[in-house]
């Protein structure tokens, strides 16, 4: 693993020349149930559920109804214990600490049978001084309390209501998640199960040192616009256990930037923090970090050497990146309100991407390979941004390192979501420690571009989600301001001035501040960001979507593929209305909403075979989801450069949601395990850096050109009229020498639909359109399409016989496709073979097409031939 940006472990020399010692307590621990009837080994990092599964004492927790069947695990009070012998003489060390990087969640900690502290916050790092109780052979014990029963106790002790008390019945969840500082969705969500885990979910170790210890160092690059130069602000924290001051010098070196500076320091006894300001050599050209698609992710190796008295030397290295971020909120000509967009390195960037949720209910299963697979799929779909949603966790270090490497911008929520929270002093103190720690941990990452105080809590208050008595509203508003403004915001402003902070998402930004931190309409199209969900209106009608400044949540549900569901279900579950299907759907009326939305434009599956109907319905929900999100996203993309009826200038589209936490219907575009849904292939196309967007308004067909590129582009637009009954286009419109400005959306073409129909000598029901951008016969964009009527009204659409000739080409496999007819929503599936296609879910209007398959694990031509199945829309009728 590369050197980490924030270093929490230091090796500090002792006066006698010996090095400080660190002893990891990872590995096997003993786990015991509350009444002692179960005792088993378990891995740390890990949790009780994982240990029980690994020992064969329970089935896969995700299998069928086990989220409810195994609720007893979360309701029990488990104990973790370990005995160990120190590999060094403890008597030679002045200070010995027991460090937990993460404990989930409520526990009493004993060391050699002496209570040394407690934990009650999953998101905090805990350090306990065990100097006075340590021995040669030691025992450590964590006596956990069920987070569910703890939350209930906190609710009773609070003496006042903090809604929501419990999740909706469809979620089959647990109550009072907002009263424990734990992953909120572990008590259930409308896309996930209730698994309120217990365990030591991050590293644990013993640290021993003399004289001094480096607790952490962190840094932020800052650009001085007036002086036109960069400098680094470095903060280092020490624990000086010497009775006398410790002096010395700090040498900071970035060789590739020909920068080296030396600073004299003196550390007084106790906990001490020093701040250094390092000027970067302004005679060297500095490569900046850019988001994916906008430039390189240049970083530089930096070393910091602390040369202290008595021969103490501490040397650390880190990767430093240089980039600026600005959140621009300023008046817009022709529109009330303010803009809301980001500049990276001075260039306006349209944020395009999705929302990230925890990748598993059991974090020990989220390996480096899992993260790499999911985040690579983000950039493979031309995204540049993920919003780390506030109902999950602050992600592990490697997540942010990968985002730095891949150029993925991170909108980072603090972990508060869809609820009201306490403001009692104990809770506030815990939150302040949490926020301070997370800022220190994450501030050095260039990928993190904004802090957001919470998910939807401003909207929940103002829109009266919880039916609060009007006489109590001001009290709840005061509590809201206390938590997010007077504490979290204060901590951010003190700890990280290098990126913006907003109190909530959605929010009105500066207007929210002007209105006293809870705006009258957090969903205003004139300020800030919006979240938008509408499952009743026709999602093919772009006029139902808000022409907002920034859309940070929107989406539609679909079911995951049969091959994904098959792993956690049995044959009796394989129907849309089975007990399993209803149990797995945690969004009230979600299955009905999907079928309703699909039925607006498609005939529903008609097979007499129940299994065939189930598979066809899964396919159709994915078609519906992909088409809905495509329509909405393209509306936001083309709205970036215009104001229409005082609204527009949209500069962000982050659909809900990227990934799944388990195998169930959800808004995700990536299934549990990483398989791409049809939506993710659509996203790869609609987030392309150069895209033609087509739509109708009052029976006129328009095409906008949308560009994320940094230079103007001259393009040729080709619009083709096709008939459902022929693989030959009926007519074409070619327009040359069209210019799309850098980072702009521009109208390229408009023509009455009636004229296009005359050109093709066809009707709306028998024809459709395709269009693309090119230059000098080179394709510059995906081939987009526009339906002139609902596919369920299509005349001439017939079943297509789609065949594939498969061959190997290096590490990939070539699928040479051939179709007998025009085929919409062609879905290529290889079952459980892990990998992705170069394209999928596409409209096939030509007889042949070549697609590549990129496997994620070893496979063969024979396995792919055996697994391959192609489906298009007419196959389900």
- d(CA 335, CA 638) in angstroms, rounded, equals 17
- d(CA 621, CA 625) in angstroms, rounded, equals 6
Please confirm, yes or no, whether 398 is among the known catalytic residues. Answer: no
State both tokens at 815: 């699928």
> How many Cα atoms within 13 Å fall on the side-chain side of residue 102?
26
Under DSSP, the state recorded for 813 is E
Cis peptide bond upstream of 45, omega within 30: yes
| Choice among 456, 458, 634, 671 that is catalytic | 456
Q: Encode 847-862: b = buried (16+ Cβ within 10 Å), e = exposed.
A: eebebebebbeebeee
Q: What is the SS3 assignment for 492?
A: helix
Q: Are 734 and 759 in contact (CB under 8 A)?
A: no
| CB burial of residue 714 (10 Å; 0-12, 13-18, 19+) | exposed
- E strands, 566-685, where? 643-644, 647-648, 652-655
Residue showing tokens 């799944």: 660
| Beta bridge partner(s), residue 814 | 807, 852
Torsion angle of the four alpha carbons 822, 827, 833, 836, in this order, in degrees rounded to the nearest 10 = 100
Q: What would you report as the CA-atom Rg of the chain, rounded to the nearest whole angstrom? A: 29
Please give the C-alpha separations between residue 719 and each of 257, 598, 684, 752, in angstroms, as whole numbers. Answer: 50, 27, 21, 13
- φ/ψ bin of 329: left (φ > 0), alpha (ψ from -120 to 50), beta (otherwise): beta
Parallel, antiparallel, or unpaired: how do β-strands 784-787 and 848-855 relate? unpaired
- d(CA 318, CA 304) in angstroms, rounded, equals 8
- d(CA 354, CA 348) in angstroms, rounded, equals 19
Residue showing tokens 């204060």: 490
Nearest residue to 706 (alpha-carbon basis) of 652, 750, 745: 745
Parallel, antiparallel, or unpaired: how do β-strands 27-32 and 79-85 relate? antiparallel
Nearest residue to 73 (alpha-carbon basis) of 168, 166, 144: 144
Nearest residue to 558 (alpha-carbon basis) of 665, 632, 681: 665
Distance of CA 838 to the CA centre of its chain: 23
Q: Are 412 and 488 in contact (CB under 8 A)?
A: no
State both tokens at 121: 């916050």
| CB burial of residue 426 (10 Å; 0-12, 13-18, 19+) | exposed
The full DSSP string for 360-386 is: -SSGGG--HHHHHHHHHHHHHTT--EE
Strand order in the sheet with 229-240: 212-224, 229-240, 270-279
Please confirm, yes or no, whether 553 is among the known catalytic residues. Answer: yes
| Choice among 183, 398, 553, 632 that is catalytic | 553
The full DSSP string for 715-745 is: EEEEEEEEETT-SS-SEEEEEEEEEE-TT-E
Q: What contacts 251, CB < 8 A, 6 or more positions away?
A: 260, 261, 262, 303, 304, 305, 307
Q: What is the SS3 assignment for 795?
A: coil
Q: What is the SS3 assignment for 862?
A: helix
- d(CA 770, CA 748) in angstroms, rounded, equals 15
- φ/ψ bin of 293: left (φ > 0), alpha (ψ from -120 to 50), beta (otherwise): left
Residues identified as active-site: 456, 553
């Amino acid at each position: 693993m590369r050197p980490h940006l924030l270093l929490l472990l230091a090796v500090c020399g002792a006066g006698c020349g010996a090095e400080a010692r660190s002893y990891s307590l990872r590995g096997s621990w003993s786990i015991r149930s509350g009444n002692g009837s179960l005792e088993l080994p378990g891995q740390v990092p890990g949790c009780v559920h994982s240990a029980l599964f690994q020992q064969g004492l329970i089935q896969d927790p995700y299998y069928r109804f086990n989220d409810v069947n195994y609720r007893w695990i979360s309701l029990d009070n488990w104990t973790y214990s370990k005995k160990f012998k120190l590999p060094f003489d403890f008597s030679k060390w002045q200070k010995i600490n027991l460090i937990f990087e993460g404990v989930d969640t409520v526990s009493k900690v004993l060391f050699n049978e002496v209570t040394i502290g407690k934990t009650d916050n999953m998101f905090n790092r805990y350090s306990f001084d065990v100097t006075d109780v340590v021995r040669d052979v030691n025992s450590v014990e964590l006596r956990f309390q069920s987070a569910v029963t703890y939350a209930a106790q906190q609710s009773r002790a609070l003496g006042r209501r903090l809604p929501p008390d419990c999740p909706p019945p469809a979620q089959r969840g647990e109550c009072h998640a907002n009263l424990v500082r734990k992953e909120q969705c572990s008590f259930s969500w409308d896309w996930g199960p209730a698994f309120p885990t217990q365990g030591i979910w991050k590293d644990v170790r013993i640290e021993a040192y003399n004289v001094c210890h480096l607790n952490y160092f962190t840094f932020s690059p800052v650009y001085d616009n007036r002086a036109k130069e960069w400098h680094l602000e470095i903060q280092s924290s020490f624990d000086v256990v010497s009775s006398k001051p410790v002096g010395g010098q700090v040498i900071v070196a970035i060789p590739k930037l020909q920068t080296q500076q030396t600073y004299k320091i003196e550390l007084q006894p106790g906990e001490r923090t020093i701040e250094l300001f390092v000027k970067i050599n302004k005679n060297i050209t500095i490569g900046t970090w850019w988001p994916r698609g906008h430039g390189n992710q240049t970083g530089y190796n930096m070393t910091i050497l602390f040369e202290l008295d008595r021969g103490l030397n501490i040397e650390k290295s880190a990767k430093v990146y240089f980039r600026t971020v600005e959140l621009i909120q300023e008046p817009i000509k022709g529109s009330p309100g303010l803009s809301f967009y980001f500049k990276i390195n001075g260039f306006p960037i349209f944020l395009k991407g999705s929302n990230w949720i925890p990748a598993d209910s059991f974090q020990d299963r989220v390996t480096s390979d899992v993260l790499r697979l999911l985040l690579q799929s983000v950039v493979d779909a031309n995204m540049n941004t993920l919003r780390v949603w506030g109902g999950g966790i602050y992600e592990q270090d490697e997540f942010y390192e990968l985002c730095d490497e891949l150029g993925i911008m991170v909108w980072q929520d603090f972990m508060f979501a869809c609820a009201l929270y306490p403001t009692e002093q104990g809770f506030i103190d815990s939150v302040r420690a949490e926020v301070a720690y997370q800022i220190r941990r994450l501030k050095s990452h260039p990928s993190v571009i904004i802090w957001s105080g919470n998910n939807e809590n401003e909207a929940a208050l103002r829109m009266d989600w919880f039916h609060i008595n009007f006489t109590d509203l001001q009290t709840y508003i005061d509590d809201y301001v206390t938590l997010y403004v007077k504490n979290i915001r204060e901590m951010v402003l003190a700890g990280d001035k290098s990126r913006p902070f907003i109190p909530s998402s959605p929010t009105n930004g500066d207007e929210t501040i002007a209105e006293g931190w809870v705006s009258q309409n957090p969903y205003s199209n004139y300020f800030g960001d919006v979240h938008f969900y509408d499952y009743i209106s026709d999602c093919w009608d772009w006029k139902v979507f808000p022409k907002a400044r920034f859309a940070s949540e929107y989406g539609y549900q679909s079911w995951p593929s049969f091959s994904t569901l098959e792993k956690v279900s049995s044959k009796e579950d394989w129907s849309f209305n089975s007990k399993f299907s209803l149990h797995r759907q945690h969004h009230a009326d979600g299955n009905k909403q999907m079928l309703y939305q699909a039925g607006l434009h498609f005939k529903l599956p008609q097979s007499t075979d129940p299994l065939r109907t189930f598979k066809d319905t899964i396919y159709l929900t994915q078609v519906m989801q992909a088409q809905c999100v495509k329509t909405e996203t393209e509306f936001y993309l083309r709205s970036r450069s215009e104001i229409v009826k005082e609204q527009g200038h949209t500069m962000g589209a982050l659909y809900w949601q990227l990934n799944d936490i388990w195998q169930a219907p959800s808004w995700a575009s990536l299934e549990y395990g990483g398989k791409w849904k049809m939506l993710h292939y659509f996203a790869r196309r609609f987030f392309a850096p150069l895209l033609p967007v087509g739509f109708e308004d009052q029976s006129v067909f328009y095409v906008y050109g949308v560009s994320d590129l940094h230079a103007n582009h001259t393009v040729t637009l080709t619009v083709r009229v096709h008939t459902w009954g022929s693989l030959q286009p009926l007519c074409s419109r070619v327009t040359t020498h069209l210019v799309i400005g850098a980072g702009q959306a521009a109208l390229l073409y408009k023509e009455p639909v009636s004229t296009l129909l005359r050109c093709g000598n066809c009707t709306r029901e028998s024809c459709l359109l395709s269009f693309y951008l090119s230059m000098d016969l080179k394709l510059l964009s995906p081939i987009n399409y526009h339906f002139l009527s609902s596919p369920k009204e299509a005349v001439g659409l017939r079943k297509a016989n789609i065949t594939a000739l498969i061959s190997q080409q290096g590490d990939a496999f070539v699928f040479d496709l051939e179709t007998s007819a025009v085929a919409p929503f062609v879905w290529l599936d290889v079952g459980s073979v892990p990998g992705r296609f170069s394209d999928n879910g596409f409209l096939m209007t030509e007889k042949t097409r070549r697609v590549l398959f990129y496997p994620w694990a070893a496979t063969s031509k024979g396995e792919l031939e055996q697994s391959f199945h192609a489906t298009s829309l007419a196959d389900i009728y």
